[in-house]
Chains A and B, each alone.
Chain A
């Protein structure tokens, strides 16, 4: 395999993983956009979704893609409960409080899962496997392709929901102007709880999607949260097309660095994403593509 083949393969992998990144960070970005809460426990919610899928897969032999039917409502419920108990208390407080509370939540969640399932990495089995050869050595891994398709469907669903349903419109209204939304009779507490629940459901689904290709373990969360933050800051809050672009940019950068720089592996992924983040934040603080509302300091 020569260099151009390697680069082509890295580009394909980058685009495929970019779709996952996009659906992984959407929940984070919408919660931030609507409620102004930076959810540092985001990666842990994804991890819980992934473990739920693993249990369904190993104990009942359900394919991860079909497990979505169970994971989505279960995570919706979990998100709703957490919002009512905890997140509701931190919404209109200074951002430091939200950061610390969600960090505490992430530690508690990861340690609880570690206590139940131990720390060893796990992976689920799916029937959708294969490798489509394009030329010798270069090709599309089928599982990752189906993950991308599922991610695109979920993102399109969220987009249509936010754009055209009544509830979706109230969510966008709450994001743009809370007081005005209250004045026209939107029950803001309910809207917040539903938003959080939907975002957590989406995040858990992302965990289900990633489980066949990446090993899952209790402490997988923080790196994913950081990547979600990096893409959000690049894409703008709650901007779905921007999320896809940002996810693909990050996926491409990571894969190209891992391919072109020898002896590094994927370790520099998080480093490269943060160099990218700082460059974007310093040069274009409003994000590359705009969004639900301009990303502002609270």
Chain B
């Protein structure tokens, strides 16, 4: 037991790491207790958890460029879409007549991998142009890329089926998708934890804090930014492929859902920008919160979500991790003052 404790301390995982491992130990055997008649572990629970793991993975990927590197990406879902369509085109039968035989009806695994690689290549090409932009210019250029890609998919009808969409071979196997997304989510969180403590991660943080300074220190900032960008894009592309296979049908509107791209920002923001646990907590919170909001306020859920976003951002810009880690915010009045600084303070500041 003593050696086990010592090994644990050497890993520097901390309390969050412990929680992560415990959650994994709960999550891994869960489908073994599959029992629809006892209403405990049902199809819909597995499906919900799968969706949650997808969101956790996407939010963690976003965190690599948005939180760690400080490049706030409002169009990251474009890589999800490219992965989904890459997988879909290989697995389905596009209508283009001289379409090479070798590129139709692939099985899922190679198609998913190719989808991820296509997303990564796209990220390298795109990033080498857009990552030179700073601040809001980068954010909006990516948002534009996202919208432009949706229109492009709609126009390239022979390849993507246009607005009608395309179907994939349907395959209903909840435990498979459960384990697939769980593995991916676990791997991505572990990867983020590892990156956070390598030199690569420190370099990304240096770029976030002072890009010019980092460059003067001899860091090739463009190379590091593009590397972070394509890693995140590759993983999001894989998620897109899995999602497309699970959904068995893709069209521009469901794949390039405007909410999806901002969801990642919202979840990471709620959990805590630039932290490893933040995106996980944020994604899980928002997913279950949304489940509640969605089922109770059917007509108003979008209005409620918009207002919720405003409250989260204004109320806790540091996220849940920030509030938990903040020792000064122990009493409720203090929290209130911290979250809602008086609006007239700007005239009191020394000019």
A complexed with B: yes
Please report A residues at the B interface, Cβ cutoff 8 Å: 38, 86, 88-97, 99-101, 103-112, 114-115, 179, 182-183, 188-189, 222-223, 226, 229-230, 233, 263-264, 267-268, 270-271, 273-275, 277-278, 281-282, 285, 295, 297-298
Which residue of B137, B303, B313, B314 contacts A111 across the interface (Cβ within 8 Å)?
Answer: B303
Collect the chain A residues with CB atoms within 8 Å of residue B145's CB.
Answer: 274
Write the B310-330 contact mask toward A (1 if CB under 8 angstroms, else 0): 100110010000000000000
CA distance A203 to B252 in the complex (A): 30
Which residue of B308, B309, B314, B343 contacts A103 across the interface (Cβ within 8 Å)?
Answer: B309
Please give the distance in Å from B164's CB to the nearest CB on chain A.
15
Given the interface pairs A92-B346, A282-B133, the reply to whether A271 lies near B148 with Cβ below 8 Å is yes
Write the B55-92 contact mask toward A (1 if CB under 8 angstroms, else 0): 00000000000000000101000000000000000000
By the criterion CB–CB under 8 Å, are A226 and B140 in contact?
Answer: yes
By the criterion CB–CB under 8 Å, are A271 and B135 in contact?
Answer: no
Stretch at the interface among B17-25, B149-157, B171-179, B197-205: B149-157
List 21 interface pairs A-B (beta carbons < 8 Å), by A numbering: A38-B136, A96-B269, A101-B314, A105-B306, A107-B303, A107-B306, A108-B302, A188-B346, A188-B347, A226-B143, A263-B155, A264-B155, A267-B151, A268-B151, A270-B147, A270-B148, A273-B144, A274-B148, A277-B144, A297-B134, A297-B137
Main secondary structure of the interface of A (DSSP, over half): helix
Stretch at the interface among B6-14, B34-42, B228-236, B258-266: B258-266
By the criterion CB–CB under 8 Å, are A103 and B262 in contact?
Answer: yes
Collect the chain A residues with CB atoms within 8 Å of residue B344's CB.
Answer: 189
By the criterion CB–CB under 8 Å, are B314 and A271 in contact?
Answer: no
Collect the chain B residues with CB atoms within 8 Å of residue A263's CB.
Answer: 155
Number of interface residues of B (CB under 8 A): 45
By the criterion CB–CB under 8 Å, are A270 and B310 in contact?
Answer: no
Collect the chain B residues with CB atoms within 8 Å of residue A90's CB.
Answer: 314
By the criterion CB–CB under 8 Å, are A104 and B313 in contact?
Answer: yes
Please give the distance in Å from B337's CB to the nearest CB on chain A.
14
Closest to B147 in A: A270
Please give the distance in Å from A198's CB to the nearest CB on chain B.
20
Please provide the 8 A-B residue pairs with the shortest distance between their CB atoms, ordered closest to farther: A108-B306, A297-B135, A297-B134, A104-B309, A107-B306, A111-B302, A274-B144, A271-B148
Collect the chain A residues with CB atoms within 8 Å of residue B147's CB.
Answer: 222-223, 226, 270, 274
For window 65-121 of B, CB contacts with A under 8 Å fall at: 72, 74
Closest to A88 in B: B343
Closest to A94 in B: B317
Please give the distance in Å from B74's CB to the nearest CB on chain A.
7
Collect the chain A residues with CB atoms within 8 Å of residue B136's CB.
Answer: 38, 95, 99, 297-298
> Does any Cβ of A come within 8 Å of B129's Cβ?
yes
CA distance A103 to B147 in the complex (A): 15
By the criterion CB–CB under 8 Å, are A226 and B72 in contact?
Answer: no
CA distance A282 to B137 in the complex (A): 10
CA distance A183 to B351 in the complex (A): 7
Closest to A223 in B: B147
Collect the chain A residues with CB atoms within 8 Å of residue B262's CB.
Answer: 100, 103
Please give the distance in Å from B165's CB to the nearest CB on chain A.
16
Given the interface pairs A226-B144, A274-B144, A298-B135, the reply to whether A282 lies near B303 with Cβ below 8 Å is no
CA distance A90 to B343 in the complex (A): 10
Collect the chain A residues with CB atoms within 8 Å of residue B334's CB.
Answer: none
Please give the distance in Å from B175's CB to the nearest CB on chain A.
35
Closest to A272 in B: B148
Collect the chain B residues with CB atoms within 8 Å of residue A182's CB.
Answer: 347, 351
Collect the chain B residues with CB atoms within 8 Å of residue A93's CB.
Answer: 317
Please give the distance in Å from B348's CB to the nearest CB on chain A.
11
CA distance A108 to B310 in the complex (A): 10
Collect the chain A residues with CB atoms within 8 Å of residue B134's CB.
Answer: 297
> Does any Cβ of A come within 8 Å of B299's Cβ?
yes
By the criterion CB–CB under 8 Å, are B303 and A112 in contact?
Answer: yes
By the criterion CB–CB under 8 Å, are B313 and A278 in contact?
Answer: no
By the criterion CB–CB under 8 Å, are B310 and A105 in contact?
Answer: yes
CA distance A182 to B141 in the complex (A): 34
By the criterion CB–CB under 8 Å, are A104 and B307 in contact?
Answer: yes
By the criterion CB–CB under 8 Å, are B303 and A115 in contact?
Answer: yes
Please give the distance in Å from B81's CB to the nearest CB on chain A.
14
Collect the chain A residues with CB atoms within 8 Å of residue B133's CB.
Answer: 281-282, 285
